[in-house]
Each structure stands twice: as structure tokens, then as C-alpha cells.
Amino acid sequence: MAKCEVCGNEYYLAFQVITAGVTHTFDSFECAIHKLAPVCDHCDCKVLGHGIEANGTFYCCAHCARAAGARSIVDNADHAPAQ
């Protein structure tokens, strides 16, 4: 059995995630998210979807990116600038 590096649970269905050449072992997606998901630079929530990368950092949504000073960032076509 493998041991989760976040909670320490030993579980026969544990799985590994390799990111940036480093192997991590988890017993649940919850623990994997806790350890690996980026954090929004504006509101500090975990970025679980695609998120937005702007000005060299990650945000959970366009609102947070704009609040932190990023420009021309939109969540959907209804909020896009007129062309």
C-alpha cells in the first residue's frame, strides 16, 4: 500500500501524479488538489479549472485578474470589448 503525502493515509488505491518531473502519491483527488493546485493571486482560492495566467501569475477568473491589474481579460464573449 502507498501512503498519501498530504494526509498520511495508507490506501491500496493510492495513485501517483508526476508534475515537473516530481512524483507525488495521493489517496484522493482532494489531497492532490490541496497539494498541487495553484492558488489565485487575488482571492487565494484554489484554481481547479483552467484559470487565467496574466502578468506572470495565476488567477481563478477574469474578475480577479482585472482586480489585480490585468487588462483585456474576459470571462465570456458577452464581456469582450467591441471590435
**pLDDT reading at 83 higher than 70:** no
Contacts of 63 (CB under 8 A, 6+ apart): 75
* Contact call for residues 60 and 70 (beta carbons, < 8 A): no
User: Is the C-alpha dihedral spanning 44, 68, 73, 62 positive or negative?
Assistant: positive
**Prediction pTM value:** 0.76
Query: How confident is the model over 22-67, as pLDDT tens digits?
Result: 999 999 999 999 999 999 999 999 999 989 999 889 999 999 999 9
Any bridge partners for residue 16, and if so which?
A: 25
Q: What is the DSSP string of the chain?
A: -EE-TTT--EETT-EEEEETTEEEEESSHHHHHHHHS-B-TTT--B--SS-EEETTEEESSHHHHHHTT--S--SSGGGSPP-
